[in-house]
Amino acid sequence: MKALMMLKALADESRLEIFKLLLDRDAYIEVISERLKLSPSTVSFHVKKLCDAGLVTSRREQYYTIYSAIPSVADLRVKDMVLGFASTIHEQDKIELAYKEKVLKSFFKYGRLVKIPVQKKKRQWVMEKIANNFSPNKSYSMTAATKLLSEIFEDAGLLLKELQSCGCLDISNGVIQRK
C-alpha cells in the first residue's frame, strides 16, 4: 500500500518537480513556490501529498517549516517498491490455489471426471490433474493409456485428445508420454 501511495504521489508533474528540487536541497514553501512558479497554496497542497506518501519530511526552524526529501526513500528503485507487494502476491496465490482445488473438486466425483470443463483455465487444471496419473519418463501404448483413462472418464478417446491439446501428453507413433 505504501508503494502505491508513493507512486501516485510522484505521478503528478508538479509533485515530481517539487520532489526533484527537495532531493537537491531542503526548502520551505515560499522558496519552492518561487523556483517552480507555483502559488504557495498549490505548493503546500502538493507538499502535503508528498509528506503523506512518506517521500518528504518536515522540520521547524524559527518561523519556517523546512521540507526535505527522505534520502532512503529517494534511493528506492521501482522494483524494490513493487516487490514490497510480495505478501499481497503470496495471498493472491493462496486464493487462486483454493479456487483451483474447489474447481477440481466440482469436476471430479469419487475419482472420476464428471464432465470436461468448457472454460480454458478450468479445463487446463483438470487435464493437468488427469495427466498426473501418467508416470513421467514412461512410455504408454495407446491401449494402456486408453485403459487408464477409461477408469477416469467414459470417453477415453476424447480425454486423450484433450490431454494432447492442453499440452499435458505427447502422442507420437502410437506412443504416449507425459510432458
- Give domain limits for the chain: 2-78, 85-178
**C-alpha distances in Å from residue 59, one per residue of 66, 67, 81:** 5, 7, 26
Per-residue model confidence as pLDDT tens digits over 19-44: 999 999 999 999 999 999 999 999 99
Predicted TM-score (pTM) of the model is 0.53
- Confidence band of 6 (pLDDT split at 50, 70, 90): confident
Q: Are 49 and 83 in contact (CB under 8 A)?
A: no
For residue 175, the SS3 value is: strand
The per-residue pLDDT for range 88-98, each reduced to its tens digit, is 667 777 888 99
Closest among 8, 167, 29, 6 to 77, alpha carbons compared: 6
Q: Which CATH class is domain 2-78?
A: mainly alpha
pLDDT tens, position by position, 113-140 = 999 999 999 999 999 999 999 998 899 9
